[in-house]
């Protein structure tokens, strides 16, 4: 049985992902390097500008991936279906000790779709879930970026040609466990710079040396969100090990039917011999 490989990155896809990731890193980290007199407390005001920049960049990633890999509307339709399912899963565990089943779906989807479409899927899923749950706020574009990175990372793992079966599930479980903590840590960075009325040991200090603020940030993470992130990571591992194999097979079957890896070849018609009917032009689909 042929294993569907993740959609690979081409040069245009890489350029689009680097650009959107660079914008995201700057959006998250600029307060750490701001002067004490700067308007750091207006960090929440960056959200509309970041959201306005993020949407065309997401479209650019999709267009670049399609251009590099030759995919069609079926791939975009599947991305929309998975985003809708992920958005529907998020409210099932939101607010309960960090138990969010959406993360497990993002790991497996990113594994099958690859890093480019995985990034877009994560961001679009978070946007749709925010609209569904009423969670629209200055944190939303930062959540979209973080979930995009989370899903993209699963697509960058070693391919299924190298690791299959139980070993693949163990690898995805380990990634999901670590990436769940990474997601929570990155999102803490967005909210931490706005909370300046906390204890001096964990509060963000504008203009302070970078290493001092990083120590305070680590203390803030340990004091506020470690248990929440642990619940998210544990649920991701449990779901990946129990139903991950079945879902991976279903996703790969769907991508094969959508001809994700099909390349279209147009055969040029040959000149007919005297007395013969004109030859037809045939269109064939050849898997890579």
Q: Which residues contact 101 (CB under 8 A, 6 or more apart)?
A: 89, 90, 92, 93, 235, 239
276, part of any domain = no
Q: Is the pLDDT of residue 255 over 50?
A: yes
Residue 5 has pLDDT above 70, yes or no: no
Q: How far apart are CA 90 and CA 161, in angstroms?
A: 31
Residue owning tokens 């969670």: 135
Q: What pLDDT does 241 receive? A: 94
- What one-character DSSP code corresponds to residue 137? S
Q: How confident is the model at residue 182 (pLDDT cuts 50, 70, 90)?
A: very high
Q: Which helix (H) or strand (E) holds 285?
A: strand 283-287
Write down the pLDDT at residue 238. Answer: 94
How many contiguous H segments (helices) and E segments (strands) does the chain have? 9, 2
pLDDT of residue 287: 45
- The pLDDT tens digits of the residues spanning 121-133 come to 888 888 888 887 7
User: Which residues neighbour 82 within 8 Å (Cβ) at sequence distance 6 or greater?
Assistant: 105, 109, 113, 121, 125
The reported pTM is 0.76
As a whole number of angstroms, the distance between CA 282 and CA 252 comes to: 28
Q: In the prediction, which pLDDT does 205 show?
A: 79
CB within 8 Å of 125: residues ≥ 6 apart = 82, 83, 86, 87, 90, 102, 106, 147, 151
Q: Is residue 277 part of a domain?
A: no
pLDDT digits (tens, 9 = 90+) for 93-137: 655 556 788 899 999 999 988 888 888 888 888 888 888 776 777
Domain-embedded: residue 266? no
What's the average model confidence in pLDDT over 193-211? 74
Residue 265 lies in a domain: no
Least-confidence region, from 52-61, 179-188, 255-264: 255-264
Report the CATH number at residue 74: 1.10.1760.20
In the chain, the number of structural domains is 1
What pLDDT band is residue 269 in, cutting at 50, 70 and 90? low
Structural contact between residues 42 and 50, judged by C-beta atoms closer than 8 angstroms: no
Given a cut of 90, is residue 176 above it in pLDDT? yes
Please tell me which residue, 205 or 234, carries the higher pLDDT value: 234
283, part of any domain: no
Q: Confirm whether 282 is domain-assigned.
A: no
154 touches 198 (CB < 8 A): no
* pLDDT value for 109: 92
Binned at pLDDT 50, 70 and 90, residue 272 comes out as: low
Q: Is residue 280 in a domain? A: no
In a domain, 285, yes or no: no
Residue 258's pLDDT band (boundaries 50, 70, 90)? low
Q: CA–CA separation, 276 vs 179, rounded Å? A: 64
Domain of residue 162 covers: 11-260
Contact indicator for 113, 79 with CB cutoff of 8 Å? yes
């Amino acid at each position: 049985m042929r294993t569907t490989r993740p959609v690979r990155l081409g040069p245009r896809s890489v350029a689009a992902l680097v650009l959107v990731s660079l914008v995201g890193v700057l959006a998250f980290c600029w307060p750490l390097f701001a002067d004490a007199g700067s308007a750091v407390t207006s960090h929440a005001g960056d959200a509309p500008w970041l959201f306005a920049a993020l949407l065309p960049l997401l479209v650019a990633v999709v267009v670049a991936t399609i251009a590099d890999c030759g995919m069609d509307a079926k791939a975009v339709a599947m991305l929309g279906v998975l985003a809708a399912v992920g958005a529907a899963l998020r409210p099932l565990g939101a607010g309960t000790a960090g138990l969010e089943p959406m993360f497990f779906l993002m790991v497996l989807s990113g594994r099958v779709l690859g890093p480019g479409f995985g990034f877009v899927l994560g961001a679009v899923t978070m946007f749709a879930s925010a609209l569904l749950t009423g969670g629209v706020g200055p944190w939303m574009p930062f959540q979209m970026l973080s979930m995009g990175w989370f899903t993209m990372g699963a697509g960058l793992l070693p391919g299924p040609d190298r690791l299959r079966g139980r070993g693949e599930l163990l690898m995805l479980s380990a990634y999901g466990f670590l990436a769940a903590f990474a997601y929570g840590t990155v999102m803490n960075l967005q909210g931490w710079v706005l909370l300046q009325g906390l204890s001096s040991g964990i509060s963000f200090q504008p203009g302070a040396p970078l290493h001092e603020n990083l120590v305070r940030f680590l203390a803030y993470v340990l004091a506020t969100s470690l248990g929440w992130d642990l619940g998210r990571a544990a649920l991701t591992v449990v779901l990946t090990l129990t139903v991950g194999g079945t879902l991976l097979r279903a996703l790969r079957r769907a991508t094969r039917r959508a001809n994700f890896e099909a390349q279209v070849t147009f055969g040029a018609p040959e000149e007919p011999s005297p007395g013969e009917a004109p030859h037809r032009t045939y269109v064939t689909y050849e898997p890579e």
